[in-house]
Structure 1
Amino acid sequence: MQASVLCASLVVAVSRPDRFRAGAARVAAWMLRAGLALALGWQLGAAAQAAGGAEAAAGTAVRFGILPLGGAFESRNDWEPLLADLQRAIGRPVTMLSVTSYEALEQAIQRDQVDMAFLSGKMALDAVTLRRMKVVAQVTRHDGLPGYRALLLTRKSGPRTTLKELLAEPEGWRLARGESRSVSGFIVPQLQLFLPNHIAMETRFRSEVVGTHQVTALAVANGEADVATNNTADFERFRLQFPAEADRLQVIWESELIPHAQIVIRRGYGPEFEKKVQLFLVEYARGKGPRGDSERAVLKSLHDLAGFVAADNSSLLPAAKLAYQLARQSTMTSQWVNEAARQARLQRIEATYAEQVAALRSGAP
């Protein structure tokens, strides 16, 4: 680890432990993570704590937040080489905030403790429309597809293995899912599968575990849950890291394509700095020779990424549409005091979506 070059920090957090309702194993897992959080603390480091706002003078650390796709330690180690290269390219220190929950990263962004971040869908949309950030790049993968797919996983053998059985009696199933901000772990399965079948993920299942894609897959593989949300990119990675556990699992449902994650940066750095960051990302791993090979190896460890392409806020239009569709469908299937209240809610959803679309297209957020 290049500790002298890159000051890495780690936050271990648990999202909504009250959701871990069933099973001593899940309670024990929560206690383990909570204990780890207390042991590690919030180690942002003196440089990061002194950074202040995005308008800080040149030389102040740029604080990079990482979307929790696997374990926090794993994410930190995977991102460290790329962020060390970014530090050299921009001539400023780069510190890292690696967390285990979407909520922890969202809170850090709200508290202005993150200047750049790797975010997907809803979190990137909120960062741009609510937290004065903007998109500078979007990731690409070797398969050439413009996105990935959400998945549902079950064990290959056992009493509950098929989609038909799941939709017929969700009350008998134990669910392992992503946080409510997770596109593939919650939003898309809810929107494209469960709500159309009159199933609300939060209330219809026997019990639920909420965690990263790695946590959800392991929960099903180890018999702690019956079905898990996941996605094609992370399940490929899971197969490499946990081959024995992956061999116990099968895919019973796939979603439509979901756009890839974005790199966002806090507004206020200025166009020259933004262009420097964007150029670094776009050119990363594109060169020939040993340096290019080394950078490609770095990206391969980052969920098998192929690289980055230049992007702006308009790349979040699909995410805005997904959020709009989920809000509308949830409103249509929920119980209301009267129809007038439902229609009022629908009107607010339409107005919010129209404002988001206009802002994302103009670059105004």
Structure 2
Amino acid sequence: MLRKFLIAALATLGCTLSYAQEINFGIISTEAAANLKADWQPILDDMEKKTGYKVKAYFASDYAGIIEAMRFKKVDVAWMGNKSAMEAVDRAGGEVFAQTTYADGSPGYWSLLITHIDSPYKTLDDVLKNAKNINFGLGDPNSTSGTAVPGYYVFALNKVDPKTAFKTARSANHEANLMAVASKQVDVATNNTEVLDKVEKRSPEIAKNIRVIWKSPLIPADPMVWRADLNADMKKKVKEFFLSYGTATNDQGKLEMARLNKLTYGLFKNSSNTQLVPIRQLELAKEKLKIEADANLAAADKEARIAEIDKKLAALNTSLASAK
């Protein structure tokens, strides 16, 4: 009887211990999973060795899949963009703990509009004036550089709805959009400097067919996000791994830096949810412009909704000031 009890108890504990000793690492779908796996797997292998946890890569077909996986505790730690990290914090119990930097020393990256090198469109103004003739490639709905940033700077500020303004508009990840532009399947698409840089190194014959026609203000470098409810020991080991990765001056440190550089990254640095404030401000500003332009909204309702947004913006400004 005691033996049966012990076996049952150990089986239950075995489930818990197995989960506690494993990290499911989510990777947003900026490009084909095969390319992402090739770039990230050496780092995840190092993470496994240094933390003592089994580390498994988790891919989904879109950003929402990683966010939902974190929500249902199928993903413990993830590389995300700022917009997807914001969704993970708000809806999936996520928490920013580190931030990437870039190999060239840049503190962030840029959203782009790209077209084929032979395209007649050379400026943002050309694109907006000829929208009805353009097949447009939008980014993933939860992408910072593919949707949130151009959504404000390109579309909201110019009072344009990208879903109705163009001849056609469809969403895809950055790599798919770049390939579609290069092969003239779409005329113009959103993208970012990080993916363009990787394609220039990996497939220069494709990159030479791309022309950049718009570049955004600087976007903060990508955050690393974990589930806020992870145990303290796992958090400690994971954070120590990222903040020390590539910092050694020996051969191993140089190898680690080479692996980061392949991702276009430099060293990781400490971060928190405060990193997401600029993106929250951007989303609220975009919503405010939309409300202001809504002719069907009653004046009193419009005033109340704008006042609520202004209140949220003021609170974000206060949180940024207190974080400095």
Same fold at TM > 0.5: yes
What is the CA–CA distance in structure 1 between the aligned matches of 2:281 and 2:133, rounded to whole Å? 32
Aligned counterparts of 1:189 and 1:241: Cα–Cα separation in 2: 26
Contact persistence 2:68–2:92 (CA under 8 A): no
1:1-365 counterparts in 2 under 5 A? 59-302=20-263, 304-353=264-313
**Deviation readout 1:328-348 (Å, 9 max, x if unpaired):** 223223443322333333344
Task: Give identity over the alignment, percent.
Answer: 29
Take 2:15 and 2:190, find their aligned partners in 1: how far apart are those partners? 37
Deviations 1:224-255 (A, max 9, x none): 11101111111111222332222122111111
Deviation at 1:353, TM superposition (A): 4.8
1-structure distance, mates of 2:253, 2:217:
33
Whether the 8 Å contact between 2:178 and 2:191 is mirrored in structure 1 is yes
Checking the alignment, whether the CA contact within 8 Å between 2:103 and 2:261 is kept in structure 1 is no
- One-letter amino acid of the structure 1 residue matched with residue 208 of structure 2: D
Q: How many residues align?
A: 310
**CA drift at 1:159:** 4.2
In structure 1, the partner of 2:10 is none
CA-atom RMSD in angstroms: 2.5
Question: Whose Rg is larger?
Answer: 2
Tell me the TM-score normalised to structure 2 length: 0.87
Does the 8 Å CA contact 1:151/1:231 hold for their aligned counterparts? Answer: yes
Contact 1:195–1:333, Cα closer than 8 Å, also in 2: no
Change (3 A) 1:123 1:361: farther
Q: C-alpha deviations, 1:76-98, integer Å up to 9, x for none?
A: 22211111111222211111111
Amino acid at match of 1:153: I
Deviations 1:174-232 (A, max 9, x none): 10120221111111112112222221112211102311111111111111111011111
Runs (5+) with no aligned partner, structure 2: 1-13
Contact 1:314 1:361 in 2 (8 A): no
- For the 8 Å contact 1:140–1:309, the answer to whether it is kept is yes
Which string of whole-angstrom CA distances, capped at 9 and with x for unpartnered residues, describes residues 85-130 of structure 1? 1122221111111123112222222322111111111111122233
* Contact persistence 1:118–1:264 (CA under 8 A): yes
Q: TM-score by structure 1 length?
A: 0.78
Residues 64 and 289 of structure 1, relative CA distance in 2, 3 Å threshold: same
SS at match of 2:95: strand
Query: Structure 1 unaligned runs (5+)?
Result: 1-49
Partner of 2:8: none
